[in-house]
Structure 1
């Protein structure tokens, strides 16, 4: 009792123990693990599966994983559900024949939908409310937005889905493309992405190219001593349309909105290269990555 807590409850404790295990593999787990580590705690991340940051591009995921290891946060793969009751004793959690010092387990797994306490018989799928391309449920006239439909756990995407439904009901026909909505993570440094991942483009058979620019070559990032990270643009090889963007920087969650605008407008890397950015700003890395895609970056 008291060993396992939810993320919303953990900071209610006056004191945190020395050894903390965070159970999960998404943004919440990573954010909490880094927060505890910065407090001087010994932290382990226990993955629910063997996939670290399952929604992220592998390049971004590997970068963050390397950063966590540098911060001395241990990452433990877990191939199956474990029983805390059967595998915990005297401050030690045993997983995959490994003994992990543990005085607190934070359950940071992705949230699941609550069961419907209603007489309305709405069809579910994998525990979430099943919806069609218009976010309509199995009952005509009833729509489900946000994490209850299982498509995304981000608040800004829930808001966009709500606006989509309102516009549709008012006769505005749009296409809801979740790949053009950004994802963000408040790690240290922050991480964000939008669009297709490299694995998705490969599976689709798309001819693409990659342009990358490091923050270590950006003047303002160097001045602010926040030069850890990169911007990476995936673009269609023939015409240069932007297909995906990944960013790691201290303000990646703000910068990704520029990428969102480019994707909504179906912009190309040529458009990005021609977009004049004020100097000195960290967002100049967009222009540099655009130049890198077209020919070569100026300051790389």
Structure 2
């Protein structure tokens, strides 16, 4: 008899959610994790960066307190205190996840799992190696490490996540060149930072360092920042960054990093040259954590990049083996991993459940925030759709004025014939919260009329969805009327 009904490899936002849901279905569940529960998201990604970005936002508000009629002295940043607050939040949440696993009778096994067959693994101790970047979260066990126990299960879920990709240029291994995870090891704010990659990770770190006083330059190979977003959003973020003194070099690449005091970053593109930096932060993509996992022994297929191939039920091509989260290479977002975990656990328990990626919101916690769901304008037009596009600025909202944050806008992409909402894109205050209405609209296949006719509370930031819909319908109330020919 197998040791468990289900064995989950990895305790991140996909793995621990899958384990809990499976246990709720009455299955006996084991979970193998090398570090604290919560994975990269809780320990080295989503939560700690947002905690520090909140500190940066608080610093900015205090600097601007006079705009609200509040008199303060000149604020300073205690970076050690910022880091301690972050650590306290992370520990509290990780302890909470561990408690939830216990409460649901999930057996947690510490160590590195290596598959010895489709539904059997050996667990290797990770010893006292340091936690986090370079430690057991990513590193394979040392050569010669022996298994402490063997475990079998009826079904296995692979949820081992991903790690930052390395920059394939000369000098990428120099001291001072770090990944987004390694940035948490900095004990002070660098004076000069070059960030390689202007997607969500790079843009968030650019925001954080710049708010705390660093001179920051972002180098992005695509024509716009946050290239996965609508082009108008990327252009707006670039304008915002430049207004804050952040250097933005798009359509540019880093070809080398040279040894010097400080480092010198060689940039190729429209504005080629050398940029001096105390720290170079690489935020250019992620790769799956499949090293030394034994996928070849189990017969699990991966694509050319190493991501595990799955169907919409999260099944691999090996019976009784599932995969979820970043290791699948789909939408590499924590909330997607969690939803995939629920789907996998339900399927393992015998339910007919499928993953649908059409309505997946994304959020980037820059200042201003960015969020989106559905098709952007370029994608809709490329698909041959006849679309109506409308925007409404935050400056047109009374709440935004009182909030002291008027930068940004909402952009809605809708079908022209029936007004069906195809995509919602936001840059501005609380964008990450506002996008939920857009996600619900797409899920319910709502139209512009339905969004416009929904009564929104006033004065709120949420009114922007109604206002943008009215603009799209040619019936704006708090915006200039459409031009007539």
Q: TM-score, normalised by structure 1?
A: 0.92
Against the structure 1 CA distance between its residues 49 and 82, is the aligned structure 2 distance closer, same or farther, given a 3 Å change threshold? farther
Alignment correspondent of 1:110: 285
Does residue 1:129 correspond to 2:280, yes or no? no
**Inter-partner Cα distance in structure 2 for 1:82 and 1:279:** 51
Cα separation, partners in 2 of 1:105 and 1:284, compared to 1, 3 Å: same
Q: What runs of 5+ residues in structure 2 fail to find an aligned partner?
A: 1-173, 480-485
Structure-1 separation of matches of 2:430 and 2:240 = 16
Asked if structure 2 preserves the Cα contact closer than 8 Å seen for 1:49 and 1:80, the reply is no
Q: Distance in 1 between matches of 2:405 and 2:335?
A: 26
Task: Determine helix, strand or coil for the equivalent of 1:100.
Answer: strand
Q: Could you say which residue in structure 1 is the equivalent of 2:260? A: 89
Q: Which moved more, 1:225-234 or 1:187-196?
A: 225-234
Question: Partner of 2:188: helix, strand, or coil?
Answer: coil
Structure 1 residue 187 and structure 2 residue 366: aligned? yes
**Segment of structure 1 superposing worse, 264-273 or 173-182:** 173-182
* Matches of 2:392 and 2:250, distance apart in 1: 31
Contact preservation (8 Å) 1:48, 1:109? no
Change in Cα spacing, 1:234 to 1:143, as seen in structure 2 (3 Å) is: same
1:208 and 1:17, CA in 2 relative to 1: closer, same or farther beyond 3 A?
A: same
Q: Quote the Cα distance in structure 2 between the aligned partners of 1:69 and 1:3.
A: 25
How far residue 208 of structure 1 moved from its aligned partner, in angstroms, is 0.7
Q: 1:246 aligns with which of 377, 401, 425?
A: 425
Q: Give the direction of change, closer, same or farther, for the CA distance of 1:136–1:60 in structure 2 (3 Å limit).
A: same
TM-score normalised per structure 2: 0.58
Q: Could you tell me which of 183, 192, 195 is aligned with 1:22?
A: 195
1:23-102 mapped onto 2 (5 Å cutoff): 23-48=196-221, 52-77=225-250, 82-84=255-257, 87-91=258-262, 92-96=264-268, 97-102=272-277
Equivalent in the alignment of 1:277: 456
Partner Cα distance (2:309, 2:267) in 1: 35
Compute the RMSD of aligned alpha carbons. Answer: 1.9
Partner residue, 2:50: none
Q: Which of 277, 281, 291 matches 2:470?
A: 291
Residue 137 of structure 1 aligns to a residue in which SS? Answer: coil
SS of aligned partner of 1:82: strand
SS in 2 for 1:31: helix
CA contact (8 A) 1:78 1:95 kept: no
Q: What is the CA–CA distance in structure 2 between the aligned matches of 1:21 and 1:257, rounded to whole Å? A: 33
CA distance in 2, matches of 1:254, 1:75: 27
- 1:124–1:130 contact (8 Å) kept in structure 2: yes
Match of 2:179 in 1: 6
Residues 94-113 of structure 1 show CA distances to partners (whole Å, capped at 9, x for unaligned) of 22240101111112222211
How big is the shift at 1:81? 6.2
Q: Which residue matches 2:152?
A: none
The number of residues matched between the two structures is: 298
Partner SS for 2:229: coil
Q: Deviations over 1:246-291 (max 9, x none)?
A: 0112100001011111111111111101110111111011111121
Q: 1:173 to 1:266 in 2, by over 3 A?
A: farther
SS of the residue 2:288 aligns to: coil
**Which protein shows a greater Rg?**
2
* Higher alpha-carbon deviation: 56-65 or 42-51: 42-51
Classify the secondary structure of the residue corresponding to 1:53.
coil
Which aligned pairs between 1:189-268 and structure 2 lie closer than 5 A? Answer: 189-268=368-447
| Distance of aligned partners of 1:166 and 1:271 in 2 relative to their CA distance in 1, 3 Å threshold | farther
Indicate how the Cα distance of structure 1 residues 133 and 289 shifts in structure 2: closer, same or farther if over 3 A, else same. same
Task: Give deviations 1:198-219, integer Å, cap 9, x for gaps.
Answer: 1111111011101211110101
Residues 50 and 229 of structure 1, relative CA distance in 2, 3 Å threshold: closer
With over 3 angstroms needed to count, the CA separation of the structure-2 counterparts of 1:176 and 1:115, relative to structure 1, is closer
Is 1:208–1:237's contact at 8 Å kept on the other side of the alignment?
A: yes
Alpha carbons of structure 1 residues 88 and 179: separation in structure 2 relative to 1, 3 Å: farther
Which stretch has the larger CA shift, 169-178 or 266-275? 169-178
Distance in 2 of aligned mates of 1:31 and 1:273: 32
